């Protein structure tokens, strides 16, 4: 009966546009979790909201209290190593704009192919991070580093639209910074290494999604200039530029804001003198772009929509859209992945 209730709850969440989160990563077993298992509120709160506790810390704490341990000792039993402020990193994966258009406008078979390719690409990127990127720092000032031998723990959450209501397939991968060393002790993942490899992870994801989608649907890619003077990105061949620009309304909002911010930056005065250099450096421009993104972001107040509603709320097309094959090997440098730190909430006090 419990399994039936879980299945009904998952179906209701899917219809409401908020599918249940799923656990991923090779480090799940040591926490008593399994790949694909539904993420519960208590598990998420313990691992990401309590400065890095065991996903089943509540149960561990209750068992210790029942055995006669003090509240303080029982609480510490559920802590994974040293408690941290940054408890996780949020990776946001989305396919290239033309693949998102295929997903939004194509038939049911096209949707299934794209979503399956999207999920497999996320799994491959997580495996790459576990094998090649993630390192645990330990020792004084973190001078020693080691790959997490047991892998990492992550929770994946699916969304079907962007804040303005545009259909947009994307997943949030909330990666825990906790990893176990060979001696069984818990340490923290070096988040700087994750930041430094975000572009590489994005390129790998784009490559995997595009190649699998093209192979499954008989499509091809072609280079598209996004920013003059920079490397072109690879998109599905034959999609009109105007249709691609239709998906870039959010980018247009952000792009319209930095000019105003740059003017404020170069004219800022402190005690009668210019506060900054009159020329905006690349580093300053990157920070101004981040400010522009936050300034133009709409509040996420409207409840999410289901997959069918996000894709237009209409019957699927009888056949998937087909574009001419004018290129072959898919490759892309589209920034399809964002990374943000997840900080814990207020610390609980224990006696």
pLDDT tens, residue by residue, 69-105: 999 999 988 888 887 888 899 999 999 989 999 999 9
Reference 118, options 78, 66, 158; nearest CA is 158
Check: CB of residue 250 under 8 Å from CB of residue 161.
Answer: no
Check: CB of residue 332 under 8 Å from CB of residue 233.
Answer: yes
The mean predicted confidence, pLDDT, of the chain is 79
**Is pLDDT at 68 greater than 80 in this prediction?**
yes
The predicted structure's pLDDT at residue 320: 36
- Overall average pLDDT of the 151-170 stretch: 87
Q: Where are the beta strands (DSSP E) in 136-283?
A: 136-138, 144-146, 154-161, 167-176, 178-180, 186-189, 221-224, 233-236, 269-270, 273-274
**Is pLDDT at 127 greater than 90 in this prediction?**
yes
- Overall average pLDDT of the 32-42 stretch: 94
Q: Higher model confidence: residue 17 or residue 39?
A: 39
Torsion angles phi and psi, residue 93, rounded to 5: -105, 130
Range of weakest confidence among 138-142, 177-181, 194-198: 138-142
Reference 177, options 129, 217, 233, 139; nearest CA is 129
Q: What percent of the chain has pLDDT over 70?
A: 72
CA distance 179 to 176: 8
Check: CB of residue 190 under 8 Å from CB of residue 137.
Answer: yes
Q: Higher model confidence: residue 261 or residue 77?
A: 77
Matching residue, tokens 């949020």: 90
Q: Higher model confidence: residue 258 or residue 314?
A: 258
Matching residue, tokens 């959010």: 250
């Amino acid at each position: 009966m419990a399994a039936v209730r879980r299945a009904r709850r998952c179906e209701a969440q899917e219809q409401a546009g908020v599918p249940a989160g799923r656990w991923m990563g090779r480090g799940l077993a040591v926490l008593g979790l399994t790949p694909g298992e539904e993420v519960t509120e208590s598990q998420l709160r313990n691992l990401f909201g309590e400065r890095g506790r065991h996903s089943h810390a509540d149960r561990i704490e209750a068992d210790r209290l029942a055995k006669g341990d003090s509240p303080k000792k029982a609480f510490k039993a559920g802590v994974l190593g040293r408690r941290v402020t940054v408890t996780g990193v949020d990776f946001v994966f989305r396919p290239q704009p033309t693949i998102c258009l295929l997903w939004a406008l194509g038939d049911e078979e096209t949707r299934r192919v794209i979503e399956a390719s999207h999920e497999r690409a996320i799994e491959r990127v997580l495996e790459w991070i576990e094998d090649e990127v993630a390192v645990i720092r330990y020792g004084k000032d973190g001078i020693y580093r080691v790959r997490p031998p047991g892998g990492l723990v992550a929770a994946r959450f699916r969304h079907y639209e962007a804040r303005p209501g545009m259909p947009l397939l994307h997943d949030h991968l909330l990666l825990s910074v906790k990893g176990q060393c060979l001696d069984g002790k818990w340490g923290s993942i070096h988040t700087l290494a994750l930041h430094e490899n975000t572009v590489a992870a994005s390129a790998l994801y784009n490559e995997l999604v595009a190649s699998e989608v093209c192979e499954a649907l008989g499509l091809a890619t072609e280079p598209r200039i996004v920013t003059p003077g920079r490397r072109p990105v690879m998109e599905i061949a034959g999609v009109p530029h105007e249709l691609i620009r239709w998906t870039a309304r959010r980018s247009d909002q952000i792009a319209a804001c930095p000019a105003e911010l740059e003017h404020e930056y170069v004219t800022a005065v402190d005690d009668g003198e210019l506060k900054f250099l009159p020329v905006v450096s690349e580093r300053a421009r990157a920070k101004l772009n981040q400010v522009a993104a936050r300034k133009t972001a709409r509040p996420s107040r409207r409840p999410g929509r289901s997959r069918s509603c996000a894709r237009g709320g209409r019957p699927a097309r009888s056949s998937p859209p087909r574009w001419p094959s004018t290129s072959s090997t898919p490759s892309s440098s589209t920034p399809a992945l964002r990374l943000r730190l997840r900080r814990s909430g207020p610390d609980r006090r224990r006696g």
